[in-house]
Structures are given as structure tokens and as C-alpha cells.
Amino acid sequence: MFYLIGLGLGDAKDITVKGLEIVRQCSRVYLEAYTSEEFYGTKLTLADRETVEQEADEILKDADITDVAFLVVGDPFGATTHSDLVLRAVKAGIPYRVIHNASIMNAVGCCGLQLYNFGETVSIVFWTDSWKPESFYDKIKRNRQNGMHTLCLLDIKIKEQSLENLMKGKKIYDPPRYMSVNQAAEQLLEIIQNRRNQDKELAITENTICVGLARVGAINQKIAAGTLQQMVNVEMGGPLHSMIITGSLHPLEIDMLKLFAVDKSSFENIRMEDSSTYVS
């Protein structure tokens, strides 16, 4: 059997009891990212995205007669999908099973915004001097016009090569980079400035209520609610970060967001001001 096992979001103990039992009975266990080998009590083989693409057949080898597990941070079908491994397994006649777990796509509910009030999820990528895509803005705008919240997944750059090293064929990688809530807010504010004069239906402003989230599910997770402008300077700590642009807010959602308000005294006033910016 080929098992795709979600590890959840916090630490090694966020694996499910079922998942851990399976890991311990498997003859081979691969994982996407570093996790605690000691805790799982079995030898783990690191398999980053590149390895999975190049060595999928190796990973699935003999999984029809033995048990093989592939461990994925979050849920196996969360933000990054593992459909390709499933399709290969099925094609090779290998049965598979998925052990689900929390991912940012559902754990984001911890800030108190209702999951069924979210529209399309967007990704915000690192801008460069010459490449500043704005397409996510239009998706946020569409969600907001429909009163929906938008979960923004923030860019991660792992195993990136500098142009110099790439040209020299050197497999030297830049240090990993994780977009912060501050950076995401800055990019959004720049887009708003660009659109201010063109766009009659400016559906997001500096005062739009946003939620910054860091290390969701971990013991030191942080949630901060405030204006988009406040997100530029809020101190969220280390990665991973996500950000939500709110749509229409239900009273119970507002009560929850107040628990995490950057500035509790002004939160209610901000919201009243902001609600006039959407087009309904």
C-alpha cells in the first residue's frame, strides 16, 4: 500500500495516531521536509519536490507488496497537491490511501473568520524589479465585491539559484526566503496606489481590515487583525506567514477579530469606515 500521510501544521506530534501507526509499520518512509526522525521512530528519507518529480518510480517501487509512506506537511491535498504520485500509483496498480490532517486551508479558521465566507484563495508572489504581477489583486477584489474573505498564501523560495550560479551550472542555492505579512501588505498598497486613479470601484483601501497569521498550529502562533496599513509594520515573527483580506464581516467574526486587534481601541471605528469601501 502507498500511504500519503499529512503531518499537520505544528510539530512532529501533530501527526494523527493512525498516521503514526502506519509510519511505524512501513518499510520505507519519505518526507517532504525536515521533521523529527526520533519521534516517528523510523528511518526517514528526505524527498523534496525535485526528488519527487525525478524519482517517483523509486518512491513507489514495490509498494504493491510492501507498505510505503510519503509524509507531507499539512494535508496531502492542501495548498500543494500530490495528485501526480497518486496517478502514478494507480497506473502501476498500487493501492493508495490518504491520511488527512489540518492544513492552512482549514486551520485559518482559528482567527474566527468563518470558512464558508471565504472565496477563492490567492497566492502573492515576491516581486522583482522587472516583474510585478498584480493578478491576485483582481481576485481579492472579486471576492470582496461578493462579501467574501480572501486567504492569501505568501510566497516561499526554496532551493533558488542566483542567475550567476545558474549560468555557471553550480548547484549552489540561495538561502530560503519566506514572504512576510509586512511584505505582502506593502505590495498590495503599491497596487492600490497604481489603481487609485484608474479604478472607479476601488474595493480595497489602506483601511481594509486584514488578518496576519504566523506559524498557525504551532505553540507560538500569532494572529494580528488590523488595517492593511497596520499590516506593513506589525511584528509577526518567523515564517510561515499568511494574510487574509476580509470581506463582509458578521458580528461574531468581528468579536473574534477584536481578540487579535493590533489596536483594540480603534478597531470598531476602522471597520465602520472600511465597510463603505465595498461595492455590493
Query: Does 103 show up as a binding residue in the annotation?
Result: yes
Helix crossing, 267-274 with 251-259: angle to 10°? 140
Rule CB under 8 A: say whether 17 interacts with a second copy. Answer: yes
**Residue 100 within binding range of a second copy, rule CB under 8 A:** yes
Establish if 105 lies at the interface with a second copy (CB under 8 A).
yes
Pairing of strands 156-157, 177-178: antiparallel
State which of residues 184, 204, 217, 234 lies at the interface with a second copy (CB under 8 A).
217
* Alpha carbon 26 to chain centroid, angstroms: 29
158 vs 134: CA distance, rounded Å: 22
Check binding of 90 to a second copy (CB under 8 A).
yes
CB of 20 to a second copy, least distance (A): 6
142 binds a second copy (CB under 8 A): yes
Supply the minimum distance, in Å, between the C-beta of residue 160 and a second copy: 22
257 is an annotated ligand-binding site residue: no
Going by C-beta distance under 8 Å and a sequence separation of 6 or more, which residues neighbour residue 151? Answer: 104, 105, 108, 118, 121, 122, 242, 244
Size of the site for a second copy (CB under 8 A): 57
Report 243-262 residues binding a second copy (CB under 8 A).
252-253, 255-256, 259
Instruction: Report whether 204 contacts 192 (CB < 8 A).
Output: yes
In sequence order, the 6+-apart residues with CB closer than 8 A to the CB of 203 are: 140, 141, 144, 145, 277, 278, 279
Indicate whether 42 belongs to the interface with a second copy (CB under 8 A). no
End-to-end CA distance of the chain: 51
Find the shortest distance in angstroms from Cβ 104 to a second copy: 9
- Bond preceding residue 240 cis, omega within 30 of 0: yes
Q: Which residues pair with 149 in a beta bridge?
A: 118
* Binding of a second copy by 15 (CB under 8 A): yes
Query: Which residue bears the cell 525536515?
Result: 34
- Asked if 120 is part of the footprint of a second copy (rule: CB under 8 A), the reply reads yes
Choose, by CB under 8 A, the member of 47, 122, 140, 209 that binds a second copy.
122
Shortest distance, CB of residue 79 to a second copy, whole angstroms? 7
Question: Coil, strand, or helix at residue 181?
Answer: helix
Question: Near a second copy by CB under 8 A, which window of 3-11, 171-179, 196-204, 268-276?
Answer: 3-11
Q: Enumerate binding residues for a second copy (CB under 8 A).
A: 6, 8-11, 13-18, 20-21, 75-79, 81, 83-84, 86-87, 90, 98-103, 105-107, 109-110, 112, 114-123, 142, 146, 148, 153, 216-217, 252-253, 255-256, 259
